[in-house]
Amino acid sequence: MSASQPPQTSEVPTLLVKIFGKDRPGITAGLFDTLAAFSVDVVDIEQVVTRGRITLCALVTEPVPGTEGELRATVHGWADSLKLQAEIISGLGDNRPRGSGRSHVTVLGHPLTAECTAAIAARITGTGGNIDRIHRLAKYPVTAVEFAVSGCETEPLRTALATEAAEIGVDVAVVSAGLHRRAQRLVVMDVDSTLITDEVIELFAAHAGCEAEVAGVTAAAMRGELDFEQSLHARVALLAGLDASVVDKVRTEVRLTPGARTLIRTLKRLGFQVGVVSGGFTQVTDDLKERLGLDFASANTLEIVDGRLTGRVTGEIVDRAGKARLLRRFAAEAGVPLAQTVAIGDGANDLDMLNAAGLGVAFNAKPVVRRAADTAVNVPFLDAVLYLLGITREEVETADAHEG
């Protein structure tokens, strides 16, 4: 038999040994020490500890003929000595093969209710999927759990769960299983209302005394009701005459979205490259790039002449199409296939970028963007995106602790 071919175990007699009870050090070692006396081979192991209670399952080969009764008695005696419960079930073979069409379904709730969990599980089953495994990724600031699903293709599952998620008020992300999920090495995000909580042009407008006028144009543009380039020129024109010293003031007023530093710090530790694209201004994004250690940053540039804003922008306009173009440029410079990129944004001018990326994430986005993106995150914590990549809160905190 080739080393690359799995053994045929479907008809091999096996025993499923299940242990339940209060967790303590040494249970796993003790069980397998007990089983070792009967020269069985381990086929599979699964262990879960929830609120201090352990469930340990060991699938092992059948012992030497005539010794199964002794094995059962010995395991039960060992379990009783530790005030544990034991159950031993005879059967054939290993787990049945997982169905084709495998996906990871990440569910975020704030909180995650039993009603919502039931609805998601029922919709998975109704789409023809089987839930093979569930584990928790985070318990705060949101509850995040991941379902390993097989038996149905990713796209129809994503469509079905997106509808369910909108109805019950949770965030659900569906991505294909496979090595590519761990190979996404470039994350590019929008800035205004994504990386930061502000709209930068509105911060400038507050200093110019035209905040209400600019906010109205911004809102219409983000809803897709206005051409972005025209709205950009109209808003920037209102800033004409502002002293250039306002740039430093605006930089100090910018507020990062909760979780932004954690997201970027964790991605960088994992070897990801991180960039931003913005319909805002390089006067702010360049500062963010330096402060956060970003690899890429691109935005529009406010023209400044004789120490004052002219009310114009210079250079290439970063609009909806421009953001997608920059994502492709950053990916090429980073040496990352486009299919292995993640894009995050909230507005209509992010749609081309979200659709071009391997995974497009709508972050607290407008309805038109939520409907078009691969997945939506509607909790106010940017680092929740880490859970969509299979990264747990525990892993993040452990890495933070190691670096002091």
Which residues are tagged catalytic? 190, 192
Pair of tokens at residue 37 = 């006396």
* Interior angle at CA 29, CA 28 and CA 33, nearest 5: 120
- Amino acid symbol at 393: R
**How far is Cα 163 from Cα 179, in angstroms, rounded to an integer?**
27
- Amino acid symbol at 80: D
How many other CB atoms are found less than 10 A from the CB of residue 232?
23
Sign of CA dihedral 122, 123, 124, 127: positive
Please report, for residues 268, 277, 322, the alpha-carbon distance to residue 283 in angstroms, rounded to integers and kept in the order given.
24, 13, 18
**How far is Cα 310 from Cα 227, in angstroms, rounded to an integer?**
22
**How far is Cα 217 from Cα 141, in angstroms, rounded to an integer?**
34
**How far is Cα 191 from Cα 278, in angstroms, rounded to an integer?**
6
